[in-house]
Amino acid sequence: MDSLSDIAVFIQVVDSGSFTAAAERLSLSKSVISKYVTRLEDRLGARLLNRTTRKLSLTEVGRAFYERSERGLQEIAEAEAEVSRLQGEPRGTLRINAPMSFGVLHIAPVLPEFLERYPQLTVDMNLDDRKVDVIEGGFDVSVRISDLGDSSLVARRIGPCRHVVVASPAYLKRYGIPRTPEDLEDHNVITYQYQDSAKEWEFRLPGQKPSMVSVSGSIQMNNSLALREALLNDAGITRTPTFVVGRDIQEGRLQSVLTNYELPEISIYLVFPQRKYLSPKVRVFVEFMREYISDTPSWDQKTKVDR
């Protein structure tokens, strides 16, 4: 078993890029990590890593050993996951990555129900509006709200992500309701930093070709929850997902405009590393979130809109 432990630590060092980062991920001291790797090299009679004070790199032998060993450990993990799947209750820690707004609004509130349903599970959730590397970050599953193009990941669609152009009633009373996309030129548009085409928006009337409109304003943000607060405080107008503002529209705190135009629609996915077997903890989380969101999310139902 020492051999497998040494190999697992070696792989973690390579994936992390340093002994220090590997020590933090494994909750071990840097000296213990070094001991594992040295013991592995001594047993193999070969140097696997070139160590300098500034850089860590694989030797030629080390790279070949890493590639074979990484596949081998993955096969072991998949075998264990399959046994667990066949034998029962999901257990262990589910590491989730999600955008800040979606995690706060739509994952955190339902975690108690999820954990009550699967009491052998614990959850470690990381919230970050930037796109993270699922494998490098050590996550079991990540929420992606986009059009996916990364073939190295497995994706499961759990629902739609619709967008609206929205502002507070007080803002619209003061500055007027835009009737065409071109009217946005006369408005203070709040833009979201991580959104594709943040300052050039696409609109389409049913049956017609899409048109692009340039927008600008005095506020740019990198977090949808902060953007929502600015809207509620009459700071401007924006385009944002309904999962952020749907409740506010339903309850009259915000008002959607330009509703006769179609906006691009993307999807909400759960993505995870490519594996032969889907681990039980990820499988039940996918099923649970699909059940919660569906193709008609609660935040898209009975929404008050300006016609």
| Per-residue pLDDT tens digits for 114-125 | 999 999 999 999
**Which of these three, 58, 86, 114, is where a domain ends?**
86
Tokens of 278: 């889907």
- The CATH number that applies at residue 143 is 3.40.190.10
pLDDT of residue 111: 95
Domain housing 239: 163-257
- Same domain, yes or no, for 94 and 81? no
Residue 149 within a domain? yes
**Which of these three, 86, 106, 134, is where a domain ends?**
86
Residue 305 within a domain? no
pLDDT of residue 304: 43
Residue 304 within a domain? no
pLDDT per position in the chain (307 positions), as tens? 468 888 889 999 888 888 888 888 888 898 898 899 999 889 889 999 988 767 788 999 989 999 888 888 888 877 777 676 655 678 889 999 999 999 999 999 999 999 999 999 999 999 988 777 787 788 899 999 887 655 567 888 988 999 999 999 999 999 999 999 999 988 999 988 877 777 888 899 988 888 888 888 899 998 899 999 999 999 999 999 999 999 999 999 999 999 999 888 889 999 888 666 678 888 899 999 999 998 888 898 764 444 3
- Same domain, yes or no, for 100 and 148? yes
Residue 273 within a domain? yes
- Same domain, yes or no, for 157 and 241? no
The tens digit of pLDDT for each residue in 207-255 reads: 888 888 888 889 999 889 999 999 999 999 999 999 999 999 999 999 9
pLDDT of residue 187: 93
pLDDT of residue 136: 77
- Same domain, yes or no, for 169 and 238? yes
Q: Which residues contact 25 (CB under 8 A, 6 or more apart)?
A: 12, 16, 138
- Same domain, yes or no, for 280 and 146? yes
- Same domain, yes or no, for 206 and 219? yes
The whole-angstrom separation of Cα 208 and Cα 30 is: 62
- Same domain, yes or no, for 74 and 122? no
- Same domain, yes or no, for 71 and 197? no
Q: Quick one: which H or E segment has residue 59?
A: none
- Same domain, yes or no, for 251 and 168? yes
Residue 7 within a domain? yes
**Which of these three, 86, 106, 135, is where a domain ends?**
86
The whole-angstrom separation of Cα 225 and Cα 210 is: 29
The whole-angstrom separation of Cα 153 and Cα 163 is: 25
- Same domain, yes or no, for 111 and 196? no
Residue 307 within a domain? no
Q: Which residues contact 208 (CB under 8 A, 6 or more apart)?
A: none
SS3 149: coil
Nearest to 201 by CA among 231, 239, 175: 239
pLDDT of residue 306: 43
The whole-angstrom separation of Cα 28 and Cα 47 is: 22
Residue 210 within a domain? yes
- The CATH number that applies at residue 20 is 1.10.10.10
Q: What are the Cα distances from residue 264, in Å, to 173, 191, 223?
A: 27, 16, 20
Residue 174 within a domain? yes
User: What one-letter code names the amino acid at 293?
Assistant: I
∠ CA 1-40-36, nearest 5°, is 75
Q: How many CB atoms lie within 10 A of CB 45?
A: 6
How many domains does one find in the chain?
Answer: 3
pLDDT of residue 307: 37
Q: What are the Cα distances from residue 26, in Å, to 2, 16, 33, 36, 42?
A: 16, 11, 9, 12, 22
pLDDT of residue 151: 55
pTM confidence score: 0.68
pLDDT of residue 150: 55
Q: Among all chains, which residue has been given the structure tokens 């594996």?
A: 275
Residue 98 CA, chain-centre distance (Å), reads: 4
- Same domain, yes or no, for 152 and 280? yes
Strand order of the β-sheet with 266-273 is 121-127, 92-98, 141-146, 266-273, 153-161
Q: Quick one: which H or E segment has residue 302?
A: none
- Same domain, yes or no, for 271 and 138? yes
Q: What are the Cα distances from residue 223, in Å, to 80, 226, 248, 271?
A: 39, 6, 17, 21
